[in-house]
A and B are shown apart, each in its own frame.
Chain A
Amino acid sequence: MSLLETKNLTKQFGGLTAVDNVTFTVEEGSITGLIGPNGAGKTTVFNLITGIYKVTSGQILFEGVPIHDREPHVIAGMGITRTFQNIRLFRRLSVRDNILTAGHSGARYSVVDSILRTPRYVQEERQLARECERLMDLMDLTEVASSRASSLPYGLQRRLEIARALAVKPKMILLDEPAAGMNPDETMQLMSLISRIRDEFDCTVLVIDHRMDLIMGICENIVVLNFGRKLAEGPPEAVQTNPAVIEAYLGASGEGVAVHA
């Protein structure tokens, strides 16, 4: 069954149609890539799925339930979370507090519980701390647990943002250009991390990136956008040889050139 489905998804900003009639599906347990030239509408699609933008027309279904009219925090609660192209951490908080905060939905205690420090508060707070430590361990962040998020090197900030998203215990994670600004070595690490997310966290991945080596290397299915429209959809090999895709990336009359970004 497909986990996420968009039907004729359209978003207009005034006269500009940023996303135009886009229909695609993301299979449960897959790693799906969303690619396209700059300004193709990839990030807009992410903003629509996570409820940050309201759709102009069309539908988004998650596990068969329409989500396009819900608030971002409700959508997150249903199991979709994301990272941002321009990293958005809780900058002045420590690495630990970033993750701890995101894990909040694992606890149910009330304001009164927190003021009275009831057994419920103590127990749930302990549970949150345990899960936070476990996640930091898995993501190799334990060393920097007490550092301010803003003081981390760029690669670690990206990793922390992914860890924070995983603390929500999502069914699906949207990664917006996770490899931006990374060197080849870091990109390799990121690729294995993305595969681990799917396998160890049982989480479906939808990823935007410009690095074709990354996208072609880990994605089972790829959706190509251009000028807000869907250009192609399919497994990497098929997309790579699709003439329309080659044209969009390299201009017209590309004769048998493979796509390399």
Chain B
Amino acid sequence: MEWFYVKGILIQSGINLTAVLGLSLLTGFTGLFSFGHAGFMAVGGYAAVFAGMRLGLPYPLALLFGGLVAGIVSLPIGRLTLNLKGDYFCIATLGFGEAIRLILDNVQTFGGARGWPGIPVTTDLFNVAVVAIIGTFVMVRLVNSRHGRNMIAVREEELAARTVGIDAFKYKMLSLFISAMYAGVAGGLQGYYLGFLQPKMFSITKSTEFTIMVIFGGIGSITGTVFGTLLLTALPEVLRAFAIWRLVVYGAAVIFIMISRPEGLMGGKELSLAALRRLFGPRPKREVPS
């Protein structure tokens, strides 16, 4: 296999991972399903390219700018929809994602449906890897803090969370904001990788794909999200041998995994050095509270 081809898959994996990490915080840890994350990715992508090409910001700042804009766009949406119960939020995000795509289709400033060509190709394997690793690192630390625990509490039992003093609405907003930022940065990476942006790239299919990756990896597990994303990004490429049956096999594979392992690859567990030691090492001594 040609290195150029493999490199392309790896870069796309890194871009997807950045977006899916954010969605994992929202869906996996806070328990909110979103089918509009491609919308945030689009907002971030266009904003980053705008910042780079029209405002002249350097590449890293342009990516950050894209993330920030996506995050800020998420705030009014969260304000309006996060008080909705369960499925209604999901439907609202679906509407948002489609609305963003249609707006970009019709606003000619950024090229409309024909897309935005001529973006300097700046994203390479190195900077995607750097972003994805920083993204994973930040997420792991966030989840292992009181803020992460509060989000998990909201997912587990919102009413009880509120009666122990957790501002459920605030934590849903925070989770949505951070996850939109991740999607925004991923959008920027995507634009600067392909050298071209088009609203069609951010359809509901893309949002669904991200959600599948989160669930496939296992709700509430960063390790699962990483493995799930890498596997599911590579899988359609591995299946190229099946030619036109490729996506059918892809679908069947996802269904098979979900049936045989409904909790996802990692089932909410994390793969860490400590966990490996517990698994293979000698039995640990019982902890003595000090």
Contact check, A121 vs B165: say whether CB atoms are below 8 A apart: no
Q: Decide: A73 near B162, CB < 8 A? Known: A93-B156, A104-B150.
A: yes
Contact check, A81 vs B147: say whether CB atoms are below 8 A apart: no
Contact flags A108-152 to B (C-beta < 8 A → 1, else 0): 010101110100010001001010011011000010010000000
B165 contact set on A, CB distance < 8 A? 73, 76-77, 81, 102, 104-105, 168
Say whether B99 faces chain A, with CB atoms less than 8 Å apart: no
Chain A nearest Cβ from B15, distance in angstroms? 22
Alpha-carbon gap, A165 to B160, bound state (A)? 9
Contact flags B142-153 to A (C-beta < 8 A → 1, else 0): 101111111011
Chain B nearest Cβ from A195, distance in angstroms? 23
B147 contact set on A, CB distance < 8 A? 111, 114
A41 contact set on B, CB distance < 8 A? none
Alpha-carbon gap, A136 to B163, bound state (A)? 20
Contact check, B290 vs A104: say whether CB atoms are below 8 A apart: no
Q: Which of B150, B156, B167 contacts A91 (CB 8 A)?
A: B156
Contact check, B168 vs A73: say whether CB atoms are below 8 A apart: yes
Q: Which of B152, B162, B268, B290 contacts A101 (CB 8 A)?
A: B152
Contact check, A114 vs B141: say whether CB atoms are below 8 A apart: yes
Residues in A217-257 with C-beta less than 8 Å from chain B: none
Contact check, A101 vs B168: say whether CB atoms are below 8 A apart: no
Q: Which of B146, B153, B159 contacts A128 (CB 8 A)?
A: B146
Contact check, A89 vs B160: say whether CB atoms are below 8 A apart: yes
A20 contact set on B, CB distance < 8 A? none
Alpha-carbon gap, A105 to B150, bound state (A)? 10
Alpha-carbon gap, A125 to B145, bound state (A)? 8
Residue of A nearest to B141 (CB): A115
Say whether A100 faces chain B, with CB atoms less than 8 Å apart: yes
Chain B nearest Cβ from A147, distance in angstroms? 14
Alpha-carbon gap, A92 to B28, bound state (A)? 13
Say whether A90 faces chain B, with CB atoms less than 8 Å apart: yes
Contact check, B289 vs A76: say whether CB atoms are below 8 A apart: no
Chain B nearest Cβ from A58, distance in angstroms? 21
Contact check, A115 vs B156: say whether CB atoms are below 8 A apart: no
Alpha-carbon gap, A97 to B220, bound state (A)? 14
Alpha-carbon gap, A84 to B163, bound state (A)? 10
B166 contact set on A, CB distance < 8 A? 73, 101, 104
A7 contact set on B, CB distance < 8 A? none
A142 contact set on B, CB distance < 8 A? 289
Residue of A nearest to B167 (CB): A73
Residues in B117-145 with C-beta less than 8 Å from chain A: 138, 141-142, 144-145
Alpha-carbon gap, A52 to B160, bound state (A)? 10
Contact check, A134 vs B289: say whether CB atoms are below 8 A apart: yes
Chain A nearest Cβ from B262, distance in angstroms? 14
Contact check, A168 vs B156: say whether CB atoms are below 8 A apart: no
Contact check, B164 vs A101: say whether CB atoms are below 8 A apart: yes
Where the two chains meet, the residues of A that have a C-beta atom closer than 8 Å to any C-beta of B are 50, 52, 71-73, 76-77, 81-82, 84, 88-93, 97, 100-102, 104-105, 107, 109, 111, 113-115, 117, 121, 125, 128, 130, 133-134, 136-137, 142, 145, 164-165, 167-168
Shortest 3 CB-CB distances between A and B: which pairs? A114-B145, A133-B289, A76-B165
Provide a sorted-by-A list of 16 A–B residue pairs whose CB atoms are within 8 angstroms: A71-B162, A72-B159, A73-B167, A76-B162, A81-B163, A81-B165, A93-B156, A101-B161, A104-B146, A104-B149, A104-B165, A111-B142, A113-B145, A114-B146, A130-B289, A134-B289
